[in-house]
């Protein structure tokens, strides 16, 4: 570790000071507070989201995308909560808000849009694995996959010198993780976890971010950490987006204890199987990806909410009065 970099403790302090980001909507802060209360109802959640028109528009676009394959148009947040479920919508709002809290500006060093493609791919893969292996809260799996590498964006925006040095080492053939450990003694997994703690994300989400490279260390929800790790490995093998290095890592052995992956005749993980399943899922997720990244949404279905006929800001149907 070189002395000119911040120490682990300084990096922790910097990360924990990222609190009042103007772009983190107050609605999310309130929502995360509400989550501490087990009596919070779907109606209360709907009312809260409906108070933010931009967020409402985005939630409805996502709810109507082919990714969720719901046969009827979903015209109100309340209906989205009813048909997609409390957890799916809650986790979707966390994901949207975090994406909006970080710059998507290109800087010539790090392709942030491709980074988000990797992250969304990982969310999609995690949801797919959650369904395959019966992890009940698939919305949680999606968000954990989506946010697993968020520590890299904290570095990119707040620890620029360190980040560029890490990228330099990666170009010399190290993995991102190795470069971080060597140069800083702290990894994006820990940094992401500090941010998730600071922003009061659900504890299992914090743990999945912390343990996504070492799923065997998860204690609260080992299955979620295993799912996120597995999803990350699948995305790298499928070359979905770009996470910072080109290494295709093996699956951590801890995953075998929790998920029993499909094996080839030679007894290896059948990565081809998972990669092709993910590619199918990604095709269905196309409209979803463009919406979540804020790119123009291609009309993915007809009906009153399809394409350019969608009422961008007003969403007049949603009065916010839901019971």
Under the rule (CB under 5 A), what is the footprint of Fe ion?
A: 149, 232, 243
Q: How far is the CB of 189 from Fe ion (least distance, A)?
A: 6
Nearer to Fe ion, 77 or 155 (CB): 155
Q: Which is nearer to Fe ion, 117 or 149 (CB)?
A: 149
Residue nearest Fe ion by beta-carbon distance: 243
Q: What does the DSSP assignment read for 189-224?
A: HHHHHHHHHHTT--HHHHHHHHTSS-GGG--S-HHH
Min dist CB 224 to Fe ion, Å, is: 15
- Measure Cα distances from 234 to 30, 122, 201, 230, 311 in Å: 34, 8, 25, 6, 37
User: d(Cα 199, Cα 193) in Å, to the nearest integer?
Assistant: 10
In angstroms, the CA 139 to CA 132 distance is 14
Q: Which is nearer to Fe ion, 88 or 189 (CB)?
A: 189
Q: Which is nearer to Fe ion, 47 or 148 (CB)?
A: 148
- Shortest distance, CB of residue 200 to Fe ion, whole angstroms? 22
Cβ at position 202, least distance to Fe ion in Å: 19
Name the residue nearer to Fe ion (CB basis): 221 or 232. 232
Picking from 148, 142, 16, 132, the residue whose alpha carbon sits closest to that of residue 90 is 142
Cβ of residue 316: shortest distance to Fe ion, in angstroms? 40
C-beta closer to Fe ion: residue 45 or 196: 196
Q: How far is the CB of 238 from Fe ion (least distance, A)?
A: 12
Residue with smaller CB distance to Fe ion, 47 or 152: 152
Name 269's bridge partners. 263
Nearer to Fe ion, 207 or 232 (CB): 232
Beta-bridge partner residues of 263: 269
Separation between Cα atoms, residue 251 and residue 259, nearest integer Å: 12
Least spacing, CB of residue 22 vs Fe ion, in Å: 27
Give the sign of the dihedral formed by CA 153, CA 115, CA 201, CA 253: negative
Number of neighbouring beta carbons within 10 Å of residue 308 = 9
H or E element that contains 114: helix 112-132
Q: How far is CA 251 from CA 99, 231, 258, in A?
A: 27, 10, 12
CA distance 246 to 258: 27
Least distance to Fe ion, CB of residue 118, Å? 6
Using an 8 Å Cβ cutoff, are 100 and 265 in contact? no
């Amino acid at each position: 570790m070189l002395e000119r970099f911040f120490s682990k403790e300084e990096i922790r302090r910097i990360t924990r000071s990222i609190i009042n980001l103007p772009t983190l909507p107050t609605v999310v802060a309130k929502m995360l507070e509400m989550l501490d209360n087990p009596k919070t109802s779907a109606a209360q959640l709907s009312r809260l989201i409906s108070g933010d028109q931009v967020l409402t528009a985005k939630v409805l676009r996502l709810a109507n995308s082919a990714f969720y394959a719901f046969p009827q148009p979903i015209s109100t947040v309340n209906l989205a909560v009813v048909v997609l479920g409390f957890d799916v919508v809650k986790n979707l709002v966390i994901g949207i808000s975090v994406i909006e809290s970080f710059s998507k500006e290109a800087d010539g060093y790090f392709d942030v849009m491709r980074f988000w493609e990797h992250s969304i791919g990982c969310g999609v893969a995690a949801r797919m694995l959650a369904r395959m292996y019966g992890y009940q809260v698939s919305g949680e799996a999606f968000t954990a996959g989506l946010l697993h590498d968020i520590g890299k964006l904290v570095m990119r925006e707040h620890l620029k010198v360190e980040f560029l040095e890490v990228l330099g080492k990666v170009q010399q053939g190290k993995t991102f993780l190795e470069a971080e450990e060597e140069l800083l003694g702290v990894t994006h997994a820990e940094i992401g976890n500090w941010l998730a703690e600071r922003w009061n994300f659900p504890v299992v989400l914090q743990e999945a971010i912390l343990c996504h490279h070492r799923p065997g260390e998860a204690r609260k929800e080992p299955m979620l950490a295993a799912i996120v790790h597995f999803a990350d490995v699948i995305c790298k093998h499928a070359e979905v987006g770009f996470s910072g290095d080109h290494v295709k890592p093996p699956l951590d052995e801890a995953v075998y204890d929790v998920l029993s992956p499909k094996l080839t005749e030679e007894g290896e993980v059948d990565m081809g199987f998972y990669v092709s399943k993910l590619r199918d899922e990604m095709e269905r997720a196309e409209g979803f990806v463009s919406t979540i990244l804020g790119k123009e949404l291609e009309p993915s279905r007809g009906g009153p909410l399809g394409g350019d006929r969608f009422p961008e800001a007003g969403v007049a149907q949603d009065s916010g009065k839901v019971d």
